[in-house]
Amino acid sequence: MKENIRLTRLASCAGCGAKVGAGMLSKLLKGFETHYDPKLLVGYDTSDDASVYVINESTAIVQTTDFFPPIADDPFLYGQIAAANALSDVYAMGAEPKLALNIMCLADGMDKETVQEILRGGYSKAYEAGVIISGGHTINSGEPVYGLAVTGFVHPERVLRNVGARPGDRLILTKPLGIGVLTTAAKADMVEKPVMAKVYAQMTELNRYARDVMTGYEVHACTDVTGFALLGHGLEMAQGSGCSIYLEAAAIPYHREAYELASMGFVPAGAYRNREFAEPGVWAAEGITRAMMDILYDPQTSGGLLISLPESAAADCLAKLKAELEYAEIIGCVGQQAEYSIYIE
Taking a C-beta distance cutoff of 8 angstroms, is the pair 321, 158 a contact?
A: no
Distant-in-sequence contacts of 131-134, Cβ < 8 A, 24+ apart: 131/87, 131/97, 131/98, 131/99, 131/100, 132/98, 132/99, 132/100, 133/99, 133/100, 133/101, 133/102, 134/99, 134/100, 134/101
Considering Cα of 170, then 41, then 235, then 268, what sign does the dihedral take? positive
Q: What DSSP designation does 34 have?
A: -
Distance between CA 132 and CA 338 in Å, rounded? 45
Q: Find residue 23's DSSP bridge partners.
A: none
Task: Name the residue among 210, 220, 178 with its Cα closest to residue 308.
Answer: 220
H/E element holding 135?
Answer: strand 132-140
Environment class of 36 (CB within 10 Å of its CB; exposed 0-12, middle 13-18, buried 19+): exposed
Distance between CA 101 and CA 135 in Å, rounded? 5
Environment class of 234 (CB within 10 Å of its CB; exposed 0-12, middle 13-18, buried 19+): buried
Q: What DSSP designation does 279 have?
A: G
Task: Name the residue among 344, 342, 345 with its Cα closest to residue 281.
Answer: 342
Distance between CA 32 and CA 217 in Å, rounded? 37
Q: Does the active-site annotation cover 16?
A: yes
Please tell me which residue in 16, 222, 243, 333 is annotated as part of the active site: 16
Convert 86-97 into a string of H (helix), E (strand) and C (coil).
HHHHHHHCCCEE
H/E element holding 101?
Answer: strand 96-106
Q: Catalytic site residues?
A: 16
